[in-house]
Chain A
């Protein structure tokens, strides 16, 4: 169950074709065409209400697109969440009633024990060993037996990441994962996610309000916004990717160098500014 081998399907790992998301007569996303290559780190930015989170939710399988098609590894996406797509939300990503270790072991217990969802004996020891290793990788080696309420916000997000990575998801989805953290902690988390992305060869899609963060971390930045605007019926036009900026092909840069790098010049409007986001 470890390290699901990457299927040798050529082409993008995730592919969205003509995807629309509508709530009633309100169009949130329209004509989204998007291919995401394995190993890329895609940042999604855009003003509030531009459908960033909707896009993430349909990739996650939490919501279904009204129209269009989403393929993961060349096969249509199942209409619900599954272990091939990991997620870290801004909040509530960890289970408050489980210790950090149990939170991390949970994913393995679900796969190996369908009825009890608990492991015993040598299976449990093996799972604990793997979870311990993962917790060390995210820097929680000393906090394994604490409950989430005893962890700081940054530590909870580290735990949420460890919990997701233990399933070796094909894609890791991050929904404003560092939005609620202090600037100093956020910088540490940037280094961590960058290192994990490189070490575990992850494919990451991250929604963020922070343009600087989007450019610092991503290998590709997507800006969502409405192409057209009807002042009398603003809800009738949805957003789509108005800018798609490939930043670097090199999947393995030195993280220190990356975080020191100044974000590249942002194209002029209508790319949303951070204030309006």
Chain B
């Protein structure tokens, strides 16, 4: 049988999907055990016990200087920055993308500007942001927004612009004004695409967050990773990275679920 025709059951898919992950973990454990057999004080590939110990200290014991639970404070700070950045970028993408996609004069006016901003590497703007906005939260959130909003705006504008002309014409024959077409025809059809755009922007948003935190911060997941790197604390870095991955996956799953629940018509309802 051809491989293209091999369709797997749910159980088989889960099994196959878990295999490479399990293999990777196994390889790590073997290598870590080997290194620890040679040198019990090895810091490069810590064993799970060491990671649990290091993380327990960060999660449950207040920091001696600040008196706070470091891990949770880091998580909260990072999620707050990420949430603000994603939120502002999402609202911008929806509003600007919608008017760009529906109204030709706005597209002619703002299209080149959005394209221009979108091609600038956001990290190159980071010095400008730090100079203009200081080293505080604003600059970090602004970096995320500038990094992901232009792409999202263009995605939404393209999606709205690609709505069949027949629909727009039909709406006009039903008496709809430009505004009514925007809020009743374009906006609802842009929303599932917006959720998709947010999912696609999650990866870059994390990149910009970690970058900003690595360069100038005193709290946050990215800050912690870059701080403990000085002490080769792989027992903290690896769990932190895994935690970031878990958070990203949870966000992605939540968004997918929301889109399916809220917009059944966009996911082949009833078929």
Residues of A that sit less than 8 Å from B by CB: 60, 62, 80-83, 85-87, 89, 91-98, 106-107, 109-111, 114-118, 146-150, 160, 163-164, 167, 169
- If A93-B166, A95-B167 touch, does A81 touch B185 (CB 8 Å cutoff)? no
Count of CB-CB pairs between chains A and B under 8 Å = 96
Cβ < 8 Å to A, chain B residues 149-173: 164-167, 169-173
Interface SS of chain B: helix, strand, loop or mixed? helix
Judge whether A91 and B268 touch: CB under 8 Å: no
* B23 CB to nearest A CB, Å: 41
Q: Which of B56-64, B175-183, B239-247 contacts A (4 or more CB under 8 A)?
A: B175-183
Cβ-closest chain A residue relative to B191: A97
Cβ-closest chain B residue relative to A81: B172
Among the interface residues B165, B265, B269, which one has the most CB atoms of the partner chain A within 10 A? B265
* A187 CB to nearest B CB, Å: 25
Q: Which residues of the partner chain A approach B67 to less than 8 Å between Cβ atoms?
A: none
Q: Which residues of the partner chain A approach B167 to less than 8 Å between Cβ atoms?
A: 92-93, 95
Partner of A110, one of B176, B263, B268: B176
Q: Which residues of the partner chain A approach B164 to less than 8 Å between Cβ atoms?
A: 91-92
Judge whether A149 and B265 touch: CB under 8 Å: yes
Interface SS of chain A: helix, strand, loop or mixed? loop
Judge whether A96 and B174 touch: CB under 8 Å: no
Partner of A149, one of B175, B179, B184, B270: B270
- CA–CA, A254 and B270, complex, Å: 38
Cβ-closest chain B residue relative to A172: B173
- CA–CA, A111 and B177, complex, Å: 9
Judge whether A62 and B184 touch: CB under 8 Å: no
Judge whether A147 and B170 touch: CB under 8 Å: no
* A174 CB to nearest B CB, Å: 12
* B180 CB to nearest A CB, Å: 4
- CA–CA, A81 and B166, complex, Å: 11
- If A106-B184, A147-B265 touch, does A87 touch B177 (CB 8 Å cutoff)? no
Judge whether A97 and B180 touch: CB under 8 Å: no
- If A86-B173, A110-B177, A163-B174 touch, does A97 touch B265 (CB 8 Å cutoff)? yes
Cβ-closest chain B residue relative to A89: B166
Q: What are 28 A-B pairs with beta-carbon distances under 8 A?
A: A60-B169, A62-B169, A80-B172, A81-B172, A82-B172, A82-B175, A83-B174, A86-B173, A87-B169, A87-B173, A89-B170, A92-B164, A94-B170, A95-B185, A95-B189, A96-B189, A97-B266, A106-B176, A106-B184, A110-B180, A110-B184, A114-B179, A117-B176, A149-B269, A150-B271, A160-B170, A167-B173, A167-B175
* A223 CB to nearest B CB, Å: 25
